[in-house]
């Protein structure tokens, strides 16, 4: 709850351009007496820009403990996303700064992307497209190519990590494809009675990740449990890059320990310093990388603004 008079609250958005074209920011502006909009903010600029603001809006700009301590008036951080891993939540709590994110703004968009990746891996869409582009169909001895193994999803087992908003919607869509769905116990939660991920991996045909990136989920998928997978298993990550140990997953794919890997998220975004998965895209593997685009439907992006405006309104009038 703000101690500053409601009619003098100052807000700043640090990376407005990350919401894309066609988004109406009015609902946010209306919540604040003063609203400064920056399209993007580099790490060295954050502190200066949040100085004096009571409410800071960030999609992916990092706000760490030192910045929070140095920011004079900061009372509320609104993350314009579901994942809050760019904000030091523990530091905010210790300093009495509230952090609110948005949930369920893009369920349809992210779930459809997850199914897209799952289907593309299962049908070997990318390897077959590559074969066609390389003229293999034209040179074939019969009417079709069949050198990449296609997996029928119906009747197969999907293992989900994370069964919140997105995990449940992916489950609903997977059930429509005739899959059996199993949910793994929450990582790091000792009283969760559901089977552990490692118990479920040997029976998984597809694994899809829908949990936040936290110390408990960092490198949740690694060489140890990749070794438990079926050689045909498909792994999909639309959650956060750091949940998968990327080098281990790539090694597993190269060695045939898993049958496919599709990620919408990488450990570093944008991957300015390169990334092992990007380097491997030309190797002819059943590997797909999309550029954190699962959430991009216009309906989802506008909903972020509306839900964030509600976050501010609820904070002002608890």
Ligand X SMILES: O=C(O)C(=O)CO
Q: Which residues are catalytic?
A: 240, 269, 292
Residue choice 99, 174, 238, 244 for contact with ligand NAI (CB under 6 A): 238
Choose the one of ligand NAI, ligand X, none that binds residue 166, judging by a C-beta under 5 to 8 angstroms depending on kind.
ligand NAI
Distances (CA, A) of 318 to 5, 271, 314, 315: 15, 40, 5, 5
Cα 154 from Cα 159, distance rounded (Å)? 14
Q: Does 186 bind ligand NAI (CB under 6 A)?
A: yes
Choose the one of ligand NAI, ligand X, none that binds residue 162, judging by a C-beta under 5 to 8 angstroms depending on kind.
ligand NAI
Distances (CA, A) of 262 to 121, 229, 266: 7, 16, 11
Distances (CA, A) of 101 to 31, 137, 229, 238, 288: 16, 49, 34, 18, 28
Residue choice 41, 46, 58, 82 for contact with ligand X (CB under 6 A): 82
Q: Does 109 bind ligand X (CB under 6 A)?
A: no
119 vs 297 by CB, closer to ligand X: 297
Residue choice 151, 159, 166, 266 for contact with ligand NAI (CB under 6 A): 166
- Dump strand ranges (E) for 155-290: 157-161, 180-183, 206-209, 234-237, 260-263, 287-289
DSSP state of 221: B
Q: Which two tokens stand for residue 57?
A: 């809006």
170 vs 252 by CB, closer to ligand X: 170
Give the N- to C-terminal CA distance of the chain in Å, as an integer.
7
Write down the residue that tokens 């969760």 correspond to.
192
Reference 153, options 188, 108, 201, 118; nearest CA is 118
Choose the one of ligand X, ligand NAI, none that binds residue 206, judging by a C-beta under 5 to 8 angstroms depending on kind.
none
Residue choice 93, 198, 216, 314 for contact with ligand NAI (CB under 6 A): 216
Query: Under rule CB under 6 A, how many of the chain's residues touch ligand NAI?
Result: 29
Adjacency order of strands within the sheet including 98-100: 34-37, 10-13, 55-58, 76-79, 98-100
Q: Does 295 bind ligand X (CB under 6 A)?
A: yes
Instruction: Confirm if 62 and 18 have CB atoms less than 8 A apart.
Output: no
- Dump strand ranges (E) for 199-285: 206-209, 234-237, 260-263
Within residues 42-61, the interface with ligand X by CB under 6 A covers 59
Residue choice 49, 75, 210, 303 for contact with ligand NAI (CB under 6 A): 210
Q: Does 198 bind ligand NAI (CB under 6 A)?
A: no
Q: Which two tokens stand for residue 289?
A: 């990388």
In whole angstroms, the minimum distance from the beta carbon of 22 to ligand X comes to 16
Choose the one of ligand NAI, ligand X, none that binds residue 238, judging by a C-beta under 5 to 8 angstroms depending on kind.
ligand NAI
Q: Does 292 bind ligand NAI (CB under 6 A)?
A: yes
In whole angstroms, the minimum distance from the beta carbon of 239 to ligand NAI comes to 4
Could you list the residues that contact ligand X (CB under 6 A)?
59, 81-83, 295
Could you list the residues that contact ligand NAI (CB under 6 A)?
82-83, 103, 106, 110, 162-167, 186-188, 210-214, 216-217, 238-240, 264-265, 292, 294-295
């Amino acid at each position: 709850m703000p101690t500053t008079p409601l009619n003098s609250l100052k807000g700043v958005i640090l990376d407005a351009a990350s919401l894309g074209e066609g988004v109406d920011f009015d609902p946010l502006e209306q919540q604040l007496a003063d609203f400064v909009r920056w399209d993007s903010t580099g790490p060295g600029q954050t502190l200066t820009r949040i100085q004096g603001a009571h409410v800071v809006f960030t999609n992916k700009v990092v706000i760490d403990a030192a910045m929070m301590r140095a920011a004079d008036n900061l009372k509320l951080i609104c993350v314009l996303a579901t994942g809050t891993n760019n904000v030091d939540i523990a530091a905010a709590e210790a300093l009495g700064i509230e952090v609110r994110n948005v949930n369920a703004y893009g369920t349809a968009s992210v779930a459809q992307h997850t199914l897209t990746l799952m289907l593309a891996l299962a049908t070997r869409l990318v390897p077959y497209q590559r074969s066609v582009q390389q003229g293999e169909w034209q040179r074939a001895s019969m009417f079709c190519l069949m050198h990449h193994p296609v997996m029928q999803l119906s009747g197969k087992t999907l293992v989900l990590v994370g069964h919140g908003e997105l995990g449940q919607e992916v489950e609903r869509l997977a059930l429509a494809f005739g899959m059996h769905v199993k949910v793994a116990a929450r990582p790091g939660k000792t009283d969760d009675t559901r089977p552990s991920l490692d118990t479920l991996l040997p029976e998984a045909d597809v694994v899809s990740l829908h949990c936040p990136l936290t110390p408990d989920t960092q490198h949740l998928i690694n060489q140890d449990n990749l070794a438990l997978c079926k050689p045909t298993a498909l792994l999909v990550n639309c959650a956060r890059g750091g949940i998968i140990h990327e080098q281990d997953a790539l090694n597993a794919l190269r060695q045939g320990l898993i049958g496919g890997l599709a990620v919408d998220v990488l450990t570093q975004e944008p991957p300015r310093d390169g990334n092992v998965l990007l380097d491997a895209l030309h190797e002819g593997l059943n590997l797909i990388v999309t550029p954190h685009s699962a959430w991009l439907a216009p309906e989802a992006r506008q909903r972020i603004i509306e839900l964030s405006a509600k976050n501010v309104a609820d904070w002002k009038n608890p």
